[in-house]
Amino acid sequence: MGIRDFIQYLTEHRERLSGGTELTDAEREDILREAETMVGMMDAAVRELESVIKNRRVNLPEEHALRFAQDVFLYLREEEEKVKAEARKADR
């Protein structure tokens, strides 16, 4: 799964949660499960990128690219965490 896939899923989750129609419990659980999976995958990607930066000799342009990728994943994780919170709030 690539960054574009994450962005697409995030967009779909937001649209489904704010679509104006009441979601069923199963739909809400589906969004929550997907969001939790995505957050876990993004956490793993951030850790892996940090490992590469710390444990391997990379030149400065490579390090900048790795840090940029980390920032993208951290941003997406934060946004998906908001989706999770909204899905949980709607469940109550």
Q: Within a 13 Å sphere around the CA of 83, how many CA atoms are in the beta-carbon half?
A: 29
- Look at residue 78 in the predicted model and tell me its pLDDT: 94
Residues 6+ apart with CB under 8 A from 84: 32, 35, 36, 39
Distance CA 5, CA 11 (A): 10
pLDDT of residue 56: 77
pLDDT tens, N- to C-terminus, the chain (92 residues): 788 888 998 999 888 888 777 888 898 899 999 999 999 999 999 999 999 988 878 888 999 999 999 999 999 999 999 999 988 886 55
Give the pLDDT score at 90: 66
Domains and CATH numbers, the chain: 3-91 (1.20.58)
Please tell me the pTM assigned to this model: 0.80
C-alpha span between 13 and 5 (Å, rounded): 12
